[in-house]
Chains A and B, each alone.
Chain A
Amino acid sequence: MLSDYITTVLGAGWVSLQLAFISLVLAVVIGLLGALCKRSEHRVLRYLLAIYTTFVRGVPDLVLMLLVFYSLPALLNQSFETLGWDYQVEFSPFAAGCATLGLIFGAYMTETFRGALQGIPHGQIEAAQAYGLGRIRTFHSIVLPQMIRLALPGFTNNWLVMVKATALVSLLGLQDIMFRARGAAEATGKPFTFYLIAGGFYLAITVLSLLALAWVGRRYSMGVRGLSR
C-alpha cells in the first residue's frame, strides 16, 4: 500500500517538470523582450518595464499566485457581468501557475539578459554592421552565442529557484509531487517519509540541472581567454 503511494507521488514529479519547463519558456520569452525594452531609447517602454519588475519582485510568489488564480478571474468575471457579457474566465491551477511563474521569473530573466547583453563589446556589433550583416544575422551569429555564455550563471540560478517555486502551485490545488506527497502523508500518517521523497526529487533535479548547465557553460566558453597563470 505504501509503495502505491510512493509510485503516485514520484509519478506526479512529471507534472512538476512540465510546469517548470513551460514556465521557463514563458520566462525566457518575457526576459528577452524585457531586456530589449530596458535598453530601448523609448522612455515609456523603460518605465513600463520598471513598474512590472518592481511589482513582481515586491510581492511574494505565493501571493502573486493567489492573485492570478483567485483574484484575476473574480475581477474579470465581475466586470463581464456588469458589462452584460455571458462569458466566464477560468484558469486551471496549471495555467495560473505557469502564468505566475513566467511573470515572476521573466522579471529576473530580464535582469540576467540585460546584464549579458551589456557584457558584449559594442565594437563587435559595429563590426558586423560594417560587414553588411543584417540585424537578424548579427543577433544569431554574434550576439546570441555570447549572450548564452554570459547569461548562463544567472539563468542557472533563475531556473533552480523556479523549479523550487513550482512547489507552491500545489497550494492552488495542482496535483504535482508536492500535492501528492501531502495527500499521501495525511492518508498514511507518515509525513516524514513522503516529504523526504519529494525533497529528494527536487534535490535530484537541482543536481542534474547544475551538471547539465555546467556542461553547457564549458561548451560555450571554448576559445574564451581565461586568466593567464
Chain B
Amino acid sequence: MNSSCKSLAATVALLVSGLVFANDNITIATDATFPPFESVDASGKLVGYDIELAEAVCKEAKLNCNIIGAAWEGMIPSLLSKKYDALISQLTVTSARRKIMAFSDVYSLPVFRFVARKGSNLVITPEGLKGKVIAVQTGTPMDAYITRYFPGSTIKRYSGGSEPYLELAAGRADVHFSYEAQVLHSFLRKDGGKDFELVGPRMTGKDAPEFGEGVAIAINKSNTALLQRINEGLRAVRDSGQLDALDAKYFGVSSDAQ
C-alpha cells in the first residue's frame, strides 16, 4: 500500500529530524516569555532584544542560525545534551552554571528589582516579606537569591517569564522579583501594569553571588570552536556600534549605564 509507506517514511523522517554535526548550521534556543528581550508577537514571530542580537552576532560570525523558542525547563539540560547549540535568553553567568556550560563574553549587566502593587507599602527585607508570597521564574538567579535570603516567605516558582505577572495582577503573589529592564519595559508600560511600581533596592551582580557576573550566550562546554566564533561575532557587533544601537532602540540608554 503506497500511501501507508509514504506516511511511514514521512513519520520516520520527522522522527529523526535534526541530525546535528559540527558545521555552520546552529540551533539557538530562547525562552520567548521574557519581553522585551525575547517574546512572541501577535503574529507568532520571535521578537526582542536577544533575538536581534543573536541575528547580528550570527551575521558577523557567518553562522547559519536557526533561532527557536523552547520551554525554559528543558533549555539548559537540552544544551548539555547537545539538543541545542547555544542559548540566548538573558542567561546570567553564575559560578554554578560555569561548571556545566561555557559562556560567551558578557554583553549586558542586568539590574534586579522587585515589583509590587502601588500602595502596598511592603518593606523589601526578609523580615518585611515574611509570610508574603514572592513570585519568581523557576531555576533562575532570582529564584536562587530569594530561596536563600527570604526563607520566611512563600515562594511560588513559575515555568515561564510572563506567568508571574498574571499572578501578580490576580493578587496571588504580593511581589515579583525579576530583571528591572524587563519589568519596566514590558509590564509597567502595559495597561495591566499601571497599578504596579518598582520597589526595593536595585541589585546587581555585586550584591550577591547568586546574581552572577552579567548576561551572556551559553554554549556547550565541548564546543570550543563555536564559542570562539560567537565571541568573534559578539566583538564585531559591539565594535560596530550595533550593540549600542540595540540598547538605544529598546531601552533608550546604553547597557553600561544601567
Contact = CB atoms under 8 A, between A and B. Distances in A.
A–B touching in complex (CB under 8 Å): yes
Contacts of B169: 189
B16 interface: yes
A180 B77 CA distance: 24
B140 interface: no
A101 to B, nearest CB: 12
Given A88-B82, A98-B11, A173-B71, A12 B44 contact: yes
A99 interface: yes
A88 B20 contact: yes
Nearest to B85: A88
A187 B160 CA distance: 12
A89 B42 contact: no
Nearest to A171: B71
A22 B7 CA distance: 8
A186 B164 CA distance: 9
B60 to A, nearest CB: 26
Task: Give the size range of A's interface with the partner.
Answer: 35 or more
A74 B18 CA distance: 14
Contacts of B69: 173, 175
Interface in B11-46: 11, 14-22, 32-33, 35, 39-40, 42-44
Given A90-B17, A92-B18, A95-B17, A8 B11 contact: no
A183 interface: yes
A70 B81 CA distance: 9
A130 B170 CA distance: 73
Contacts of B7: 22, 25
Contacts of B131: none
Contacts of B209: none
A158 interface: no
Contact of B21 (A11, A86, A95): A86
B21 A5 contact: no
A172 B14 contact: no
Contacts of A77: 81-83
B244 interface: no
A70 B75 CA distance: 10
Interface string B39-68: 110111000000000000000000000000
Contact of B42 (A4, A91, A173): A4
B82 A95 contact: no
Contact of A26 (B11, B16, B162): B11
B166 interface: yes
Interface string B125-167: 0000000000000000000000000000000000010110110
A91 B15 contact: yes
Given A22-B11, A26-B11, A191-B166, 11 more contacts: A5-B42, A8-B42, A86-B21, A90-B18, A91-B15, A91-B17, A92-B17, A171-B71, A173-B70, A173-B74, A183-B162
Interface of A: 1, 4-5, 7-8, 11-12, 22, 25-26, 29, 69-70, 73-74, 77-78, 86-92, 94-95, 98-99, 102, 171-173, 175, 180, 183-187, 189, 191
7 contacts: A11-B44, A73-B83, A74-B77, A88-B83, A92-B14, A184-B42, A189-B191
Q: Which 9 A-B pairs have the closest CB atoms?
A: A4-B42, A186-B162, A189-B192, A90-B18, A88-B20, A173-B71, A74-B81, A95-B14, A8-B44
